[in-house]
Amino acid sequence: MRVIFNEELKAVADDLDQMAQDVHKAINLAGDALMDSDVEAAQTVIDGDIEIDALESSIIDQCVRLLAKQNPVATDLRVVVASMRLATTFERMGDLARHIAESARRAYPASPIPAEAQELFGKMKDFLNMTADRLVNMLMDRDANIAEKVIVDDDVLDALHHQTFEFALDENWKGTRQQIIDIVLLGRFMERLGDHAVSAARRVVYIVSGFDPTKLPQRDEGTDID
Amino acid sequence: MRVIFNEELKAVADDLDQMAQDVHKAINLAGDALMDSDVEAAQTVIDGDIEIDALESSIIDQCVRLLAKQNPVATDLRVVVASMRLATTFERMGDLARHIAESARRAYPASPIPAEAQELFGKMKDFLNMTADRLVNMLMDRDANIAEKVIVDDDVLDALHHQTFEFALDENWKGTRQQIIDIVLLGRFMERLGDHAVSAARRVVYIVSGFDPTKLPQRDEGTDID
Protein backbone atom coordinates (compact mmCIF):
# COMPACT_ATOMS: atom_id res chain seq x y z
CA MET A 1 0.00 0.00 0.00
CA ARG A 2 2.68 2.42 1.06
CA VAL A 3 4.64 1.88 -2.14
CA ILE A 4 1.61 2.57 -4.30
CA PHE A 5 0.86 5.67 -2.29
CA ASN A 6 4.32 7.06 -2.80
CA GLU A 7 4.17 6.27 -6.48
CA GLU A 8 0.85 8.05 -6.80
CA LEU A 9 2.07 11.00 -4.76
CA LYS A 10 5.11 11.18 -7.01
CA ALA A 11 2.82 11.31 -10.06
CA VAL A 12 1.05 14.32 -8.51
CA ALA A 13 4.40 15.98 -7.75
CA ASP A 14 5.54 15.39 -11.33
CA ASP A 15 2.35 16.97 -12.69
CA LEU A 16 2.79 19.94 -10.37
CA ASP A 17 6.38 20.39 -11.56
CA GLN A 18 5.06 20.27 -15.11
CA MET A 19 2.46 22.92 -14.28
CA ALA A 20 5.14 25.15 -12.75
CA GLN A 21 7.22 24.77 -15.91
CA ASP A 22 4.21 25.55 -18.11
CA VAL A 23 3.43 28.65 -16.03
CA HIS A 24 7.12 29.63 -16.19
CA LYS A 25 7.00 29.40 -19.97
CA ALA A 26 3.69 31.29 -20.15
CA ILE A 27 5.08 34.14 -18.03
CA ASN A 28 8.29 34.36 -20.11
CA LEU A 29 6.41 34.34 -23.41
CA ALA A 30 3.70 36.75 -22.24
CA GLY A 31 6.49 39.17 -21.28
CA ASP A 32 8.04 38.81 -24.75
CA ALA A 33 4.65 39.27 -26.39
CA LEU A 34 4.06 42.43 -24.38
CA MET A 35 7.46 44.09 -24.67
CA ASP A 36 8.59 42.92 -28.13
CA SER A 37 5.19 42.75 -29.89
CA ASP A 38 5.92 39.06 -30.45
CA VAL A 39 2.54 37.87 -31.68
CA GLU A 40 3.68 34.26 -32.07
CA ALA A 41 4.70 34.21 -28.43
CA ALA A 42 1.28 35.64 -27.57
CA GLN A 43 -0.49 32.91 -29.53
CA THR A 44 1.61 30.20 -27.88
CA VAL A 45 0.56 31.44 -24.43
CA ILE A 46 -3.11 31.65 -25.43
CA ASP A 47 -3.13 28.16 -26.97
CA GLY A 48 -1.06 26.66 -24.14
CA ASP A 49 -3.48 27.72 -21.41
CA ILE A 50 -5.68 24.71 -22.18
CA GLU A 51 -2.87 22.37 -21.12
CA ILE A 52 -2.47 24.24 -17.84
CA ASP A 53 -6.22 23.98 -17.19
CA ALA A 54 -6.15 20.25 -17.97
CA LEU A 55 -3.25 19.69 -15.56
CA GLU A 56 -5.21 21.38 -12.76
CA SER A 57 -8.17 19.08 -13.33
CA SER A 58 -5.93 16.03 -13.48
CA ILE A 59 -4.08 16.93 -10.27
CA ILE A 60 -7.30 17.47 -8.34
CA ASP A 61 -8.72 14.18 -9.60
CA GLN A 62 -5.55 12.34 -8.60
CA CYS A 63 -5.60 13.96 -5.16
CA VAL A 64 -9.26 13.05 -4.57
CA ARG A 65 -8.50 9.43 -5.53
CA LEU A 66 -5.47 9.42 -3.20
CA LEU A 67 -7.56 10.74 -0.35
CA ALA A 68 -10.28 8.14 -0.96
CA LYS A 69 -8.04 5.12 -1.32
CA GLN A 70 -4.99 5.80 0.85
CA ASN A 71 -6.13 7.91 3.79
CA PRO A 72 -2.88 9.86 4.03
CA VAL A 73 -2.05 11.55 7.35
CA ALA A 74 0.55 14.02 8.67
CA THR A 75 3.03 15.22 6.06
CA ASP A 76 1.52 13.19 3.23
CA LEU A 77 -1.89 14.71 3.87
CA ARG A 78 -0.37 18.18 3.94
CA VAL A 79 1.25 17.48 0.58
CA VAL A 80 -2.02 16.31 -0.98
CA VAL A 81 -4.05 19.27 0.30
CA ALA A 82 -1.34 21.78 -0.64
CA SER A 83 -1.00 20.18 -4.09
CA MET A 84 -4.67 20.76 -4.85
CA ARG A 85 -4.37 24.38 -3.77
CA LEU A 86 -1.12 24.87 -5.71
CA ALA A 87 -2.75 23.50 -8.86
CA THR A 88 -5.56 26.05 -8.54
CA THR A 89 -3.06 28.88 -8.00
CA PHE A 90 -1.02 27.86 -11.05
CA GLU A 91 -4.18 27.59 -13.15
CA ARG A 92 -5.02 31.19 -12.27
CA MET A 93 -1.47 32.29 -13.13
CA GLY A 94 -1.94 30.70 -16.55
CA ASP A 95 -5.13 32.77 -17.02
CA LEU A 96 -3.31 35.99 -16.11
CA ALA A 97 -0.43 35.25 -18.50
CA ARG A 98 -3.08 34.60 -21.16
CA HIS A 99 -4.75 37.96 -20.47
CA ILE A 100 -1.39 39.71 -20.97
CA ALA A 101 -0.84 37.77 -24.21
CA GLU A 102 -4.35 38.64 -25.43
CA SER A 103 -3.70 42.30 -24.80
CA ALA A 104 -0.46 42.10 -26.82
CA ARG A 105 -2.23 40.27 -29.64
CA ARG A 106 -5.02 42.86 -29.77
CA ALA A 107 -2.54 45.76 -30.02
CA TYR A 108 -0.30 44.01 -32.60
CA PRO A 109 1.66 45.18 -34.58
CA ALA A 110 1.88 48.05 -32.05
CA SER A 111 2.66 47.45 -28.39
CA PRO A 112 -0.03 48.17 -25.79
CA ILE A 113 2.78 49.76 -23.75
CA PRO A 114 3.69 53.29 -24.91
CA ALA A 115 7.40 54.09 -25.33
CA GLU A 116 7.48 56.19 -22.14
CA ALA A 117 6.33 53.22 -20.03
CA GLN A 118 8.55 50.57 -21.61
CA GLU A 119 11.22 50.85 -18.94
CA LEU A 120 8.72 50.46 -16.09
CA PHE A 121 6.96 47.47 -17.65
CA GLY A 122 10.35 46.01 -18.58
CA LYS A 123 11.21 45.99 -14.88
CA MET A 124 7.94 44.24 -14.06
CA LYS A 125 8.58 41.69 -16.79
CA ASP A 126 12.12 41.02 -15.48
CA PHE A 127 10.80 40.67 -11.94
CA LEU A 128 8.15 38.16 -13.03
CA ASN A 129 10.70 36.14 -15.04
CA MET A 130 12.85 35.93 -11.90
CA THR A 131 9.81 34.89 -9.89
CA ALA A 132 8.92 32.25 -12.48
CA ASP A 133 12.45 30.78 -12.17
CA ARG A 134 12.08 30.70 -8.41
CA LEU A 135 8.67 29.01 -8.59
CA VAL A 136 10.06 26.12 -10.61
CA ASN A 137 13.08 25.71 -8.34
CA MET A 138 11.25 26.02 -5.05
CA LEU A 139 8.81 23.34 -6.17
CA MET A 140 11.41 20.94 -7.60
CA ASP A 141 13.55 21.12 -4.46
CA ARG A 142 10.75 21.76 -1.91
CA ASP A 143 12.96 24.70 -0.97
CA ALA A 144 11.43 26.92 1.72
CA ASN A 145 14.30 29.40 1.43
CA ILE A 146 13.42 30.20 -2.17
CA ALA A 147 9.75 30.35 -1.17
CA GLU A 148 10.68 32.87 1.51
CA LYS A 149 12.40 35.05 -1.09
CA VAL A 150 9.30 35.00 -3.31
CA ILE A 151 7.19 36.14 -0.35
CA VAL A 152 9.55 38.88 0.83
CA ASP A 153 10.42 40.31 -2.59
CA ASP A 154 6.81 40.80 -3.67
CA ASP A 155 7.01 44.33 -2.24
CA VAL A 156 9.26 45.24 -5.17
CA LEU A 157 6.53 44.31 -7.65
CA ASP A 158 3.91 46.15 -5.61
CA ALA A 159 6.04 49.32 -5.76
CA LEU A 160 6.38 48.97 -9.54
CA HIS A 161 2.63 48.41 -9.78
CA HIS A 162 2.08 51.61 -7.82
CA GLN A 163 4.24 53.43 -10.37
CA THR A 164 1.94 52.27 -13.18
CA PHE A 165 -0.85 54.36 -11.57
CA GLU A 166 1.46 57.36 -11.23
CA PHE A 167 2.36 56.99 -14.88
CA ALA A 168 -1.27 56.68 -16.00
CA LEU A 169 -2.28 59.74 -13.91
CA ASP A 170 0.57 61.97 -15.13
CA GLU A 171 -0.97 64.63 -17.41
CA ASN A 172 2.47 65.32 -18.93
CA TRP A 173 2.15 62.00 -20.70
CA LYS A 174 -0.30 62.39 -23.61
CA GLY A 175 -1.64 58.87 -23.88
CA THR A 176 -4.90 57.71 -25.42
CA ARG A 177 -7.69 56.31 -23.28
CA GLN A 178 -6.97 52.84 -24.64
CA GLN A 179 -3.35 53.22 -23.49
CA ILE A 180 -4.45 54.34 -20.03
CA ILE A 181 -6.78 51.33 -19.79
CA ASP A 182 -4.07 48.94 -21.00
CA ILE A 183 -1.52 50.28 -18.54
CA VAL A 184 -3.90 49.95 -15.61
CA LEU A 185 -5.08 46.45 -16.49
CA LEU A 186 -1.69 45.08 -17.55
CA GLY A 187 -0.18 46.49 -14.37
CA ARG A 188 -2.86 44.74 -12.39
CA PHE A 189 -2.46 41.41 -14.21
CA MET A 190 1.29 41.50 -13.53
CA GLU A 191 0.83 42.44 -9.90
CA ARG A 192 -1.72 39.62 -9.47
CA LEU A 193 0.79 37.16 -10.96
CA GLY A 194 3.11 38.21 -8.14
CA ASP A 195 0.35 37.75 -5.53
CA HIS A 196 -0.35 34.24 -6.79
CA ALA A 197 3.37 33.43 -6.72
CA VAL A 198 3.31 34.47 -3.06
CA SER A 199 0.33 32.15 -2.45
CA ALA A 200 2.21 29.30 -4.13
CA ALA A 201 5.28 30.02 -2.01
CA ARG A 202 3.17 29.88 1.15
CA ARG A 203 1.86 26.45 0.17
CA VAL A 204 5.43 25.22 -0.26
CA VAL A 205 6.35 26.55 3.19
CA TYR A 206 3.30 24.69 4.54
CA ILE A 207 4.38 21.45 2.86
CA VAL A 208 7.94 21.73 4.16
CA SER A 209 7.29 23.02 7.65
CA GLY A 210 3.66 22.29 8.46
CA PHE A 211 3.36 25.98 9.28
CA ASP A 212 0.89 27.96 7.22
CA PRO A 213 2.28 31.49 6.79
CA THR A 214 -1.10 32.67 5.45
CA LYS A 215 -2.23 32.67 9.10
CA LEU A 216 -0.02 35.64 9.89
CA PRO A 217 -2.06 38.81 9.94
CA GLN A 218 -1.66 40.19 6.44
CA ARG A 219 -3.52 41.70 3.55
CA ASP A 220 -2.83 41.49 -0.14
CA GLU A 221 -1.73 45.12 0.06
CA GLY A 222 -0.46 45.08 -3.46
CA THR A 223 -3.94 44.85 -4.88
CA ASP A 224 -5.15 47.93 -3.09
CA ILE A 225 -5.57 50.79 -5.44
CA ASP A 226 -5.55 53.70 -3.07
CA MET B 1 -17.35 7.26 14.27
CA ARG B 2 -19.98 7.99 11.68
CA VAL B 3 -21.93 10.25 14.05
CA ILE B 4 -18.83 12.28 14.85
CA PHE B 5 -18.03 12.58 11.18
CA ASN B 6 -21.45 13.93 10.35
CA GLU B 7 -21.28 16.35 13.25
CA GLU B 8 -17.90 17.61 12.08
CA LEU B 9 -19.07 17.85 8.49
CA LYS B 10 -22.07 19.82 9.70
CA ALA B 11 -19.74 22.24 11.48
CA VAL B 12 -17.91 22.81 8.18
CA ALA B 13 -21.22 23.32 6.36
CA ASP B 14 -22.33 25.82 9.02
CA ASP B 15 -19.08 27.78 8.65
CA LEU B 16 -19.47 27.78 4.87
CA ASP B 17 -23.03 29.10 5.20
CA GLN B 18 -21.67 31.80 7.51
CA MET B 19 -19.01 32.67 4.93
CA ALA B 20 -21.64 32.91 2.19
CA GLN B 21 -23.69 35.24 4.42
CA ASP B 22 -20.63 37.37 5.20
CA VAL B 23 -19.80 37.61 1.49
CA HIS B 24 -23.44 38.44 0.77
CA LYS B 25 -23.29 41.28 3.28
CA ALA B 26 -19.92 42.48 1.94
CA ILE B 27 -21.26 42.61 -1.63
CA ASN B 28 -24.43 44.46 -0.57
CA LEU B 29 -22.51 47.01 1.51
CA ALA B 30 -19.75 47.49 -1.07
CA GLY B 31 -22.48 48.28 -3.61
CA ASP B 32 -24.00 50.85 -1.21
CA ALA B 33 -20.57 52.32 -0.52
CA LEU B 34 -19.93 52.67 -4.25
CA MET B 35 -23.27 54.01 -5.42
CA ASP B 36 -24.37 56.06 -2.39
CA SER B 37 -20.95 57.26 -1.12
CA ASP B 38 -21.79 55.44 2.12
CA VAL B 39 -18.42 55.59 3.87
CA GLU B 40 -19.66 53.71 6.93
CA ALA B 41 -20.73 50.83 4.72
CA ALA B 42 -17.28 50.94 3.10
CA GLN B 43 -15.55 50.76 6.49
CA THR B 44 -17.77 47.84 7.58
CA VAL B 45 -16.73 45.86 4.49
CA ILE B 46 -13.04 46.67 5.00
CA ASP B 47 -13.09 45.74 8.70
CA GLY B 48 -15.24 42.65 8.11
CA ASP B 49 -12.83 41.08 5.62
CA ILE B 50 -10.71 39.77 8.49
CA GLU B 51 -13.60 37.58 9.66
CA ILE B 52 -13.99 36.16 6.16
CA ASP B 53 -10.26 35.39 6.00
CA ALA B 54 -10.41 33.71 9.42
CA LEU B 55 -13.37 31.55 8.35
CA GLU B 56 -11.41 30.32 5.32
CA SER B 57 -8.49 29.28 7.53
CA SER B 58 -10.82 27.59 9.99
CA ILE B 59 -12.70 25.66 7.29
CA ILE B 60 -9.50 24.38 5.72
CA ASP B 61 -8.13 23.31 9.11
CA GLN B 62 -11.37 21.47 9.89
CA CYS B 63 -11.33 19.76 6.50
CA VAL B 64 -7.71 18.64 6.91
CA ARG B 65 -8.56 17.20 10.35
CA LEU B 66 -11.61 15.45 8.89
CA LEU B 67 -9.52 13.93 6.11
CA ALA B 68 -6.87 12.76 8.58
CA LYS B 69 -9.18 11.24 11.14
CA GLN B 70 -12.25 10.04 9.25
CA ASN B 71 -11.09 9.00 5.80
CA PRO B 72 -14.29 10.09 4.06
CA VAL B 73 -15.11 8.53 0.68
CA ALA B 74 -17.65 9.06 -2.12
CA THR B 75 -20.06 11.94 -1.50
CA ASP B 76 -18.58 12.88 1.87
CA LEU B 77 -15.13 13.22 0.32
CA ARG B 78 -16.56 15.34 -2.48
CA VAL B 79 -18.16 17.60 0.11
CA VAL B 80 -14.90 18.01 2.04
CA VAL B 81 -12.80 18.78 -1.05
CA ALA B 82 -15.42 21.12 -2.50
CA SER B 83 -15.77 22.87 0.88
CA MET B 84 -12.06 23.73 0.94
CA ARG B 85 -12.29 25.11 -2.58
CA LEU B 86 -15.49 27.03 -1.83
CA ALA B 87 -13.86 28.61 1.22
CA THR B 88 -10.98 29.85 -0.95
CA THR B 89 -13.41 31.24 -3.55
CA PHE B 90 -15.44 33.08 -0.89
CA GLU B 91 -12.26 34.48 0.66
CA ARG B 92 -11.33 35.97 -2.70
CA MET B 93 -14.83 37.43 -3.10
CA GLY B 94 -14.36 39.14 0.26
CA ASP B 95 -11.11 40.68 -1.03
CA LEU B 96 -12.86 41.98 -4.15
CA ALA B 97 -15.72 43.52 -2.14
CA ARG B 98 -13.05 45.12 0.05
CA HIS B 99 -11.29 46.60 -3.01
CA ILE B 100 -14.59 48.16 -4.12
CA ALA B 101 -15.16 49.54 -0.61
CA GLU B 102 -11.61 50.94 -0.49
CA SER B 103 -12.16 52.70 -3.78
CA ALA B 104 -15.38 54.27 -2.43
CA ARG B 105 -13.61 55.32 0.78
CA ARG B 106 -10.77 56.93 -1.14
CA ALA B 107 -13.15 58.99 -3.31
CA TYR B 108 -15.41 60.02 -0.37
CA PRO B 109 -17.30 62.35 -0.12
CA ALA B 110 -17.48 62.11 -3.92
CA SER B 111 -18.33 58.89 -5.72
CA PRO B 112 -15.66 57.19 -7.85
CA ILE B 113 -18.45 56.65 -10.39
CA PRO B 114 -19.26 59.75 -12.49
CA ALA B 115 -22.93 60.68 -12.91
CA GLU B 116 -23.00 59.45 -16.52
CA ALA B 117 -21.96 55.93 -15.45
CA GLN B 118 -24.23 55.61 -12.42
CA GLU B 119 -26.93 53.74 -14.33
CA LEU B 120 -24.47 51.20 -15.74
CA PHE B 121 -22.79 50.54 -12.41
CA GLY B 122 -26.19 50.47 -10.71
CA LYS B 123 -27.11 47.57 -13.01
CA MET B 124 -23.90 45.75 -12.09
CA LYS B 125 -24.58 46.36 -8.40
CA ASP B 126 -28.14 45.01 -8.72
CA PHE B 127 -26.89 41.97 -10.60
CA LEU B 128 -24.29 41.21 -7.92
CA ASN B 129 -26.86 41.63 -5.15
CA MET B 130 -29.07 39.08 -6.91
CA THR B 131 -26.07 36.77 -7.30
CA ALA B 132 -25.22 37.18 -3.61
CA ASP B 133 -28.80 36.13 -2.68
CA ARG B 134 -28.48 33.10 -4.94
CA LEU B 135 -25.11 32.11 -3.45
CA VAL B 136 -26.56 31.97 0.05
CA ASN B 137 -29.62 30.02 -1.05
CA MET B 138 -27.81 27.55 -3.31
CA LEU B 139 -25.45 26.74 -0.47
CA MET B 140 -28.07 26.47 2.25
CA ASP B 141 -30.24 24.15 0.16
CA ARG B 142 -27.47 22.47 -1.87
CA ASP B 143 -29.60 23.59 -4.79
CA ALA B 144 -28.05 22.77 -8.17
CA ASN B 145 -30.85 24.60 -9.99
CA ILE B 146 -29.91 27.90 -8.38
CA ALA B 147 -26.25 27.11 -9.08
CA GLU B 148 -27.14 26.57 -12.72
CA LYS B 149 -28.78 30.02 -12.86
CA VAL B 150 -25.65 31.64 -11.42
CA ILE B 151 -23.53 29.94 -14.10
CA VAL B 152 -25.84 30.76 -17.02
CA ASP B 153 -26.62 34.36 -16.07
CA ASP B 154 -22.97 35.42 -15.73
CA ASP B 155 -23.09 36.46 -19.40
CA VAL B 156 -25.29 39.39 -18.34
CA LEU B 157 -22.56 40.71 -16.04
CA ASP B 158 -19.91 40.16 -18.71
CA ALA B 159 -21.96 42.27 -21.14
CA LEU B 160 -22.27 45.06 -18.55
CA HIS B 161 -18.52 44.80 -17.90
CA HIS B 162 -17.92 45.19 -21.62
CA GLN B 163 -19.99 48.40 -21.53
CA THR B 164 -17.68 49.84 -18.85
CA PHE B 165 -14.86 49.78 -21.45
CA GLU B 166 -17.08 51.41 -24.06
CA PHE B 167 -17.95 54.08 -21.53
CA ALA B 168 -14.31 54.68 -20.55
CA LEU B 169 -13.25 54.88 -24.22
CA ASP B 170 -16.02 57.29 -25.28
CA GLU B 171 -14.39 60.68 -25.96
CA ASN B 172 -17.79 62.39 -25.61
CA TRP B 173 -17.53 61.74 -21.89
CA LYS B 174 -15.03 64.21 -20.40
CA GLY B 175 -13.78 62.24 -17.43
CA THR B 176 -10.55 62.65 -15.52
CA ARG B 177 -7.82 60.04 -15.71
CA GLN B 178 -8.62 58.98 -12.14
CA GLN B 179 -12.24 58.41 -13.18
CA ILE B 180 -11.16 56.34 -16.18
CA ILE B 181 -8.92 54.23 -13.93
CA ASP B 182 -11.67 53.79 -11.33
CA ILE B 183 -14.23 52.74 -13.93
CA VAL B 184 -11.89 50.17 -15.44
CA LEU B 185 -10.79 48.68 -12.12
CA LEU B 186 -14.20 48.76 -10.44
CA GLY B 187 -15.71 47.16 -13.53
CA ARG B 188 -13.10 44.45 -13.33
CA PHE B 189 -13.58 43.84 -9.60
CA MET B 190 -17.32 43.46 -10.14
CA GLU B 191 -16.88 41.17 -13.11
CA ARG B 192 -14.42 39.05 -11.12
CA LEU B 193 -16.97 38.78 -8.31
CA GLY B 194 -19.30 37.26 -10.89
CA ASP B 195 -16.60 34.84 -12.09
CA HIS B 196 -15.98 33.65 -8.54
CA ALA B 197 -19.72 33.21 -8.00
CA VAL B 198 -19.68 30.95 -11.06
CA SER B 199 -16.78 28.97 -9.57
CA ALA B 200 -18.72 28.59 -6.32
CA ALA B 201 -21.80 27.46 -8.23
CA ARG B 202 -19.74 24.84 -10.04
CA ARG B 203 -18.50 23.46 -6.71
CA VAL B 204 -22.09 23.13 -5.53
CA VAL B 205 -23.01 21.25 -8.71
CA TYR B 206 -20.03 18.98 -8.04
CA ILE B 207 -21.18 18.34 -4.47
CA VAL B 208 -24.76 17.57 -5.52
CA SER B 209 -24.10 15.57 -8.69
CA GLY B 210 -20.50 14.41 -8.55
CA PHE B 211 -20.09 15.99 -11.95
CA ASP B 212 -17.54 18.77 -12.23
CA PRO B 213 -18.83 21.32 -14.75
CA THR B 214 -15.43 23.00 -14.83
CA LYS B 215 -14.36 20.09 -17.03
CA LEU B 216 -16.46 21.34 -19.90
CA PRO B 217 -14.32 23.21 -22.39
CA GLN B 218 -14.66 26.84 -21.36
CA ARG B 219 -12.75 30.01 -20.74
CA ASP B 220 -13.37 32.83 -18.31
CA GLU B 221 -14.37 34.93 -21.31
CA GLY B 222 -15.58 37.75 -19.15
CA THR B 223 -12.08 38.65 -18.04
CA ASP B 224 -10.80 39.10 -21.54
CA ILE B 225 -10.29 42.73 -22.36
CA ASP B 226 -10.22 42.62 -26.12
Tell me the pLDDT of chain B averaged across its residues.
Answer: 92
For chains A and B, CB pairs below 8 A equal 97
Task: Note the ipTM here.
Answer: 0.92
Chain A residues whose CB is inside 8 A of the B74 CB are 68
Half-sphere exposure of A170 (CA within 13 A, CB side): 11
With CB atoms and an 8 Å threshold, state whether A81 touches B64.
yes
C-alpha Rg value of chain B to the nearest Å: 19
**Residues B164-172: what's their mean pLDDT?**
97
pLDDT at A214: 64
Taking only the tens place, the pLDDT of each residue in A35-76 is 999 999 999 999 999 999 999 999 999 999 999 999 999 889
Lowest mean pLDDT among A82-96, B154-168, B200-214: B200-214
More confident residue, B206 or B225: B206
Instruction: Assign B211 a pLDDT band (cuts: 50, 70, 90).
Output: confident
User: Does A64 contact B74 at a Cβ distance shorter than 8 Å?
Assistant: no
Out of A60, A178, A225, the one facing B102 most closely (by C-beta) is: A225
> Nearest-CA distance from B132 to chain A in Å?
23
Residue A27 exposure: Cα atoms within 13 Å on the Cβ side: 32
- What's residue A221's pLDDT? 41
Please give the domain boundaries of chain B with CATH numbers for all domains: 2-223 (1.20.58.220)
> Which of A49, A57, A64 minimises the CB distance to B81?
A64
pTM of the model: 0.93
The confidence score (pLDDT) of residue B30 equals 98
Cβ neighbours of A88 in B, within 8 Å = 85, 88
Task: Say if residues B50 and B76 touch (Cβ distance below 8 Å).
Answer: no
B10: distance to nearest CA of chain A, Å? 20
Torsion of CA B15, B18, B22, B24, to 10 degrees: 120
Chain B: residue whose CA lies nearest to A75: B68
Closest residue by Cα to residue A191 from A221, A152, A226, A216:
A221
What value does the mean pLDDT take over residues A126-137? Answer: 98
Identify which has the larger pLDDT, B3 or A97.
Answer: A97
pLDDT digits (tens, 9 = 90+) for A106-115: 999 999 999 9
Closest CA to A139 of A4, A24, A6, A3: A24
Q: What is the pLDDT of residues B53-99, one digit of tens each?
A: 999 999 999 999 999 999 999 889 999 999 999 999 999 999 999 99
Mean of the pLDDT values across residues B205-224?
Answer: 63
Instruction: Give the CA count within 13 Å in the CB-facing half-sphere of B37.
Output: 11
In this predicted structure, the answer to whether residue B163 has a pLDDT above a threshold of 50 is: yes
For the segment B157-176, the average pLDDT, to the nearest whole number, is: 97
